[in-house]
């Protein structure tokens, strides 16, 4: 997928601190003079946000894993086509809280759906787009879940411990397969230390872009 921008994604288990690091990195890059689109999955444009509401609603306990996976793909296709690709073609930096690696971890490793089928759907839903860099904030699931208010927890956050442990291992497995794309950091480090580590990884990629 040809474009002049830079696509950076963040991944990790629930409560790992992705949203904080996404915000810090986006703000830092913007301060360097780049135009930044900060976004999230599932979500982004209005259609994708409506799908997000369906996916995360705790009331939807009857949702099948196959339905879940396809809804994520539908949201991703709309998000990628409407928001991410246009921004990249304009030469912008896109920083996204989750992308397709989450589907490999959650619906693949944790729900035990076919990885081959998921990867085929990913290629279709992303128009072949691959992030330039993916930051995995690794954290013991007990720590991450302990940061979440159980009353406000969404449908996936309410899954059992074994589910979230499979998710964590799924992310680590993907990172091993694509080490050239992944930076794995310790989510138990201090917020500012993590931010500096991430900036050191991303800034060389920025230098290859034209302002």
Residue pLDDT tens, the chain, 211 long: 667 899 999 999 999 999 999 999 999 999 999 999 999 999 999 999 999 999 999 999 999 999 999 999 999 999 999 999 999 999 999 999 999 999 999 999 999 999 999 999 999 999 999 999 999 999 999 999 999 999 999 999 999 999 999 999 999 999 999 999 999 999 999 999 999 999 999 999 998 875 4
Model pLDDT, residue 210: 58
CB 147 within 8 A of CB 15: yes
Domains of the chain: 6-206 (3.40.50.300)
Give the pTM: 0.96
Model pLDDT, residue 92: 97
Residue 9 class from Cβ within 10 Å (0-12 exposed, 13-18 middle, 19+ buried)?
buried
Model pLDDT, residue 1: 60
Q: How many CB atoms lie within 10 A of CB 57?
A: 12
DSSP state at residue 94: E
Model pLDDT, residue 3: 74
């Amino acid at each position: 997928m040809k474009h002049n921008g830079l696509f950076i994604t963040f991944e990790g288990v629930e409560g790992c601190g992705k949203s904080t690091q996404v915000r810090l990195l986006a703000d830092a890059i913007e301060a360097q003079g780049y135009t930044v689109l900060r976004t999230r999955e599932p979500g982004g444009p209005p259609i994708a946000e409506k799908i997000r509401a369906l996916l995360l609603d705790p009331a939807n306990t009857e949702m099948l894993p196959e339905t879940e996976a396809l809804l994520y793909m539908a949201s991703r296709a709309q998000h990628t086509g409407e928001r991410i690709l246009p921004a990249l073609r304009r030469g912008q930096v896109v920083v996204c809280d989750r992308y397709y690696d989450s589907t490999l971890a959650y619906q693949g490793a944790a729900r035990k759906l076919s990885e081959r089928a998921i990867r085929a759907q990913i290629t279709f839903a992303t128009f072949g787009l691959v992030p330039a860099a993916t930051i995995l904030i690794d954290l013991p699931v007990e720590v991450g879940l302990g940061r979440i208010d159980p009353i406000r927890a969404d449908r996936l956050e309410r899954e059992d411990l074994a589910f979230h442990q499979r998710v964590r291992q799924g992310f680590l497995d993907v990172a091993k397969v694509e080490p050239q794309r992944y930076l794995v950091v310790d989510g138990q480090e201090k917020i500012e230390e993590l931010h500096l580590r991430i900036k050191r990884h991303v800034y060389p990629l920025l230098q290859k872009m034209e302002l």
